[in-house]
Amino acid sequence: MTESFSRRNLMGLPLAELSEYFAGLGEPPFRARQVYHWICRRLAGSFQEMSDLPQRLRQRLEEEAFLADPEIVERRQAADGTVKYALRMLDGTVVEAVVMPMDGHHTLCLSAQAGCAVGCRFCVTGALGAGRNLRAFEIFGQFRQLMRDQKLLGQRVNVVFMGMGEPLFNFDQVVASLALLGETVSLRRITVSTAGVVPKLDALGQLPRRPNLAVSLNATTDEQRARLMPGVARWPLPALLEALRRYPLERGRRITIEYVLIAEINDSLMDAKRLVRLLTPLRVKVNLIPLNPDPVYLPGLAPPSEERISAFAGVLAAAGVNVSVRRSKGLEVAAACGQLRGQLAGRARNGGLAFLPRL
């Protein structure tokens, strides 16, 4: 994808900046509101779709501006309806996003970074290494492309920041993207998932309007956490749990605790009992996620047996913890975080693709 950078990218501009742009064109203020509506609510892919603009203005915008949506470079659909996307940004950076059909709605999983510095031992994105932050318009562009490609405008959708990267390492741009997403999706249907960046958790809690919060915990001791999630080990479990205790929750909301179960590493009954003690008395629900294996990037790691998963969940349930087991969707299309991009990178190295995804 190439664009002339002498043209102005209008995608993701706040309404105030869009108003300044149209004032510079000599257009009345309501034109900015019209275009903002088309970009953020109608998810228009071109200026020509903006049917209530005069043709002369549409033509001028085609010549002097553009909408920097990412390009869909690969799309894979699983038997369960899950669709995994590889999306290329203007500079050639490739990230992943996923659409998952659920009961009565679709969930869109977006990336906040092109890579991840947390380095989780069980995550392909972590194995691929750190990459750059995505801009707000690049995050919102993922949403726009998925919504249009799946024809979901007007339908019930959830949005989760559970793709590539640690959202709270890209705090300012993620918050800016929430403002854009909030034009179409209620913040009560948007979830930001973090590995536990304590200072930014506090900053997220101070926002006047907050998304749902999910925390990827995956460990019940600091030693275990440092081994599994080295990039956030600087914030020990007591500091993280204290941050969760002071995090403001609206009535009826809970923090989601995500716990990836890895055979013989963090799936023992002792781990389950420690997890109960750590989470008491937080208002949480726990998603147990059996590891989605990848023999290339995650050698030697496997999900526990069904018996160990059930036993682990049973300890939590017996203690009164709201717990569920989340089954991976889209296994055959590399739907876990980083898997598709990892495959694309491997194919590029072997001459199978014309581009090498860049971080």
Asked whether the beta carbons of 336 and 328 are under 8 A apart, the reply is: yes
Strands 94-102 and 83-88: antiparallel
**109 is a catalytic site residue:** no
What is the residue whose two structure tokens read 């793709």?
163
Catalytic residue among 96, 138, 166, 258: 96
Residues 6+ apart with CB under 8 A from 26: none
Whole-angstrom distance, CA of residue 165 vs CA of residue 3: 26
Asked whether the beta carbons of 111 and 38 are under 8 A apart, the reply is: no
Asked whether the beta carbons of 166 and 117 are under 8 A apart, the reply is: yes
* Distance from the Cα of residue 349 to its chain's centroid: 27
Strand (E) positions, the chain?
8-9, 65-66, 71-77, 83-88, 94-102, 105-109, 157-161, 190-194, 212-216, 255-261, 284-290, 322-325
155 burial (CB, 10 Å; 0-12 / 13-18 / 19+) is exposed
**74 is a catalytic site residue:** no
Task: List the one residue out of 355, 341, 294 whose CA is nearest residue 114.
Answer: 341
Catalytic residue among 109, 116, 120, 337: 337
Whole-angstrom distance, CA of residue 247 vs CA of residue 260: 23
**Catalytic sites, residue numbers:** 96, 337
